[in-house]
Amino acid sequence: MTTVEEPGPPRNRLDVGGWLADLTVAAAFLTRLRPPGALAPADLAPGRLAGTVRAFPLVGAGVGLAGGIVYALAYWLGLPPLAAALCALTVTALATGALHEDGLADTADGLGGGKTVEDRLRIMRDSHIGAFGVLALIFSVGLRAAALATLGTPWLAAAALIASGAGSRALLGLLMRRLDPARPDGLAAGAGRPSEEGALTAAAIGAAFAVLFLGLGAGIVAAAAAAVAAAAVGQYARRGIGGYTGDVLGATQQVAEIAILLVAAAKLGSA
């Protein structure tokens, strides 16, 4: 199956206007924000979304920052770390419209419950949630909240949320580059295939955020763990449905975020 390649000549990496344009499109897709002039994802030209993957980790860092601010406020108001963590995750889910959580649940239901490729794709498009989807969401929220609670202090929790928000979304471009869409219609088919440079730039930015906010040792381990987790989801999707869908991208983000937070808790946590 062929996909739309990112159109146009190679970009100037220092083109501020181009970065802002990509950031606007990426923010409109990955969050509920609608920056001035931003088109709805359904109105984008074919392949346009793939051309913005370099901005995905920047949007993720912003989502993580919002969660970190809420964690700090809850912590300073006297809430225990676990309650503060759940407040932070609530805000990140609201900021994204639970886009990635929805993808995780649909992917778990489809790949876990379907017998054939067609059956799995049909289940993934069904708006109802099944047992696999419920369990996936419980484990996702539970593991992330537990990791943040282990970090405890607002600074460490905020740093981990920023690193995981950026790092997990930084890998989506590579998945879109390496896999084909699993169906001829839908988000994956219309998004296009990112350029190699765009996908690698996003991955590098995500790794830089991990090192900057978690420290050199923990950051490298976290980035590597997220890459392995994303690759595992991609391979599972390739074997199960022959490629990726928008739901698979959401599941990849969630699994990679869990990986980064667990590494942060193991390396930096106090309990």
What are the pLDDT digits (tens) for 85-117? 999 999 999 999 999 999 999 999 999 988 899
Q: What span, in angstroms and rounded, lies between the C-alpha atoms of 121 and 256?
A: 22
Average pLDDT over residues 215-234: 97
Query: Is there a domain that residue 1 lies in?
Result: no
| Burial of residue 118, with CB atoms counted within 10 A of its CB: 0-12 exposed, 13-18 middle, 19 or more buried | exposed
Instruction: Give residue 271's pLDDT band: very low, low, confident or very high (50, 70, 90).
Output: very low
Q: What is the pLDDT averaged over residues 210-238?
A: 97
Q: Give pLDDT, residue 7.
A: 45
Residue 134 lies in a domain: yes
Residue with tokens 């409109």: 28
Q: How far apart are CA 255 and CA 230, in angstroms?
A: 7
* 201 vs 198: CA distance, rounded Å: 5
- Has residue 10 been placed in a domain? no
Cα torsion through 116, 121, 124, 130, rounded to 10:
-20
Structural domain boundaries enclosing 208: 16-268
What counts of helices (H) and strands (E) characterise the chain?
12, 0
Is there a domain that residue 2 lies in? no
- On average, the pLDDT of the chain sits at 90
- Is residue 168, in this structure, part of any structural domain at all? yes
Q: Is residue 177 part of a domain?
A: yes
Residue 252 lies in a domain: yes
Cβ atoms within 10 Å, residue 154? 20
Q: Using one digit for the tens of pLDDT, what is the confidence trace for 13-60?
A: 667 888 998 998 999 889 988 766 666 665 666 678 889 999 999 999
Give which of 181, 10, 166 is closest to 92, Cα–Cα: 166
CA distances from 261 to 114, 152, 232, 254 (A): 30, 12, 17, 11
Considering the domain boundaries, does residue 3 fall inside one? no
pTM: 0.92
* Number of domains comprising the chain: 1
